[in-house]
Amino acid sequence: MSSRGLFSNRLGFILAAAGSAVGLGNIWKFPFEVGLGGGAAFVVMYLIFAFLLCYPVMITEVAIGRKTQKNPVGAFKALGYNNWKFIGILGLIAGVVILSFYNVVAGWAFGYFVEMVQGNFAVGENFGSFTSDIFKVGIYSIIFMFFTAFFVSKGVSGGIEKLAKVLMPTLIVMILALVAYSFTLPHAMEGVIYYLVPDISKIEISTIGGALRQAFFSLSLGMGALITYGSYLSKKDNIISSATFITLADVGIAFIAGLMMFPFVAFNLGGDMSPVMAGEVGGPGLIFVTLPGVFQTLGSTLGMFIGSFFFLLLSFAALTSTVSLLEVPVSYMVDEFHIPRLRAVALVASFIFLFGIPSLIGNGYSEFFTSGFNIPGSADFMSFLGKLADIMLLFGGCCIVSFAAYIWKKENLHEELAQGYDGYHASFVKTFVNFTVSYVSPILLALLFVMVLLDNFFGISVF
């Protein structure tokens, strides 16, 4: 399988997979979802889901990938279950859907970096005119797609792995520096309290669904991205400990991103968090609207420095994620149709960019794509795609674990997990995986999938 390439060592895999997980989902989406979902109550649900439901799904995806050394569609075929390749096909579609809008937001982040370098703090108040300037945001998202395509075209160990090895550690250091800074601001504590002290009465069905959707998206699960990355992992490596690290890194970074954001938000609001609780402040614009004003108060030089630093960080985090999203359809075309990597990258990236145009123009420029979609809670095309992707991921995740437990059979899963982990058969982890993969994950995911589907698309709340 050497022609497909392998990660050069376990660290390369771990950093690439953690890079995929850590992205706009952690730094842009997590804080605003927490804001909308009621603060700390959401955070608690999110943590429970990440470790109880998502972690076993992650282990299963990586095991299927490494066992078959294939892309998500080829993997089901390679295991001898041709009928199940629909899971992989759905995953490919979900990946295309996600990347099409994700690249637009990544383009904004990159664009904000450029604005901050120029000292344009007013861009925050003018977020609406920024996103509707399609010439500008169009160029930014083309640039972003180009970078993504460049690193994917270099292959696994040459591009993806090298990128992640440099960016992941830098990212962590950068975020921690900003957390330290945010804590020095007036009213920081009010923000921290909103974020960390749970109000159990805030837990509603939408909080539960939202927390699960967020955990799935943030951990890059449900569409075979980790089947694909797992396919480049060597048989000598320990899947369980890798998955543990990736989950901890992703959850940890989302957590500290919140720790940075809420003091900033509280500072901006003069300590009164009620507009956040009422949903008046927040939503997808949260970081884009709030942060430039915060940076401005630092004075023009320091503000410019920290502001550019932050949006550069956000762009980096997004890049290691877009790379993983593009890698999935590209590996499919390379494996199944033997198309040269470079050509596959060019084809898929152009297609996804075009498919992203409605999201690009659906943030102010085109009336129809901005407000013509009548789904509960939002009316723009990008939110519609976000919700569509979320349910596809839940459905995919549910199918993947059910497949592994009942079709492929648990013995085979365990056998794969034991490779590279000597004491696996006698370990507690084995019992945990056995139980969650057979019962907890499939049942809860199926239930929550139905609830989120009803809630997101029909406005029906089950409770």
Chain residues in the site for ligand TRP (CB under 6 A): 20-21, 23-26, 98, 217-218, 220, 223, 225, 321, 324-325, 393
In the complex with ligand TRP, the residue whose CB is nearer, 25 or 37, is 25
Q: Single out the residue of 296, 359, 380, 302 nearest to residue 124, CA to CA.
A: 296
- Give the whole-angstrom CA distance, residue 62 versus residue 240: 9
Among all chains, which residue has been given the structure tokens 């898929």? Answer: 348
Tell me the closest approach of the beta carbon of residue 363 to ligand TRP, in angstroms.
Answer: 18
Q: Which positions ≥6 away from 132 have C-beta within 8 Å? A: 363, 364, 365
Neighbours of 289 (CB within 10 A): 19
Closer CB to ligand TRP, residue 188 or residue 318? Answer: 318
For ligand TRP, give the closer residue by CB, 254 or 404: 254
CA–CA separation, 18 and 12 (whole Å): 10
Burial level of 157, CB count in 10 A (0-12/13-18/19+)?
middle
User: Given the complex with ligand TRP, which of 403 and 424 has the nearer CB atom?
Assistant: 403
Question: Least distance (Å) from ligand TRP to the CB of residue 371?
Answer: 26
Shortest approach of ligand TRP to residue 448 CB, angstroms? 16
Backbone angles phi, psi at 184, to 5 degrees: -85, -10
- Comparing CA positions, the residue from 182, 175, 149, 176 lying closest to residue 163 is 149
User: Of the candidates 79, 50, 53, which has an alpha carbon nearest to the alpha carbon of residue 65?
Assistant: 79
Containing H/E element for 382? helix 381-402
Q: Which is nearer to ligand TRP, 47 or 269 (CB)?
A: 47
Residue 24 or residue 64: which is nearer to ligand TRP going by CB? 24
The answer to whether the beta carbons of residues 218 and 324 sit under 8 Å apart is no
Least separation in angstroms between residue 385's CB and ligand TRP is 13
Backbone φ/ψ region at 119: left (φ over 0), alpha (ψ -120 to 50), beta? left
Question: Nearest distance from residue 122's CB to ligand TRP, in Å?
Answer: 27
CB of residue 288 to ligand TRP, shortest distance in Å: 16
Output 224 or 292, the one with its CB closest to ligand TRP. 224
Positive/negative CA dihedral, 450, 225, 327, 314: positive
Q: Are 239 and 416 in contact (CB under 8 A)?
A: yes
User: Are the beta carbons of 138 and 171 closer than 8 angstroms?
Assistant: no
Closer CB to ligand TRP, residue 24 or residue 164? 24
Find the shortest distance in angstroms from Cβ 353 to ligand TRP.
17
Compare residues 273 and 348 and give the one whose CB is closer to ligand TRP.
348
- Closest among 192, 262, 232, 220 to 70, alpha carbons compared: 232
E strands in 157-314 = none
CB–CB of 390/416 below 8 Å? no
CB of 323 to ligand TRP, least distance (A): 9
The tokens of 198 are what? 């749970």
For the CB of residue 317, give the shortest distance to ligand TRP in the complex, in Å.
7
Cα-based torsion angle of the residue sequence 193, 197, 203, 206 in order, rounded to the nearest 10 degrees: 40
Tokens 């390379």 — which residue?
A: 334
Q: Which is nearer to ligand TRP, 25 or 38 (CB)?
A: 25
Cβ of residue 337: shortest distance to ligand TRP, in angstroms? Answer: 22
CB 406, min distance to ligand TRP, A: 23
Using CB positions, name the residue nearest to ligand TRP. 25
Nearer to ligand TRP, 287 or 325 (CB): 325
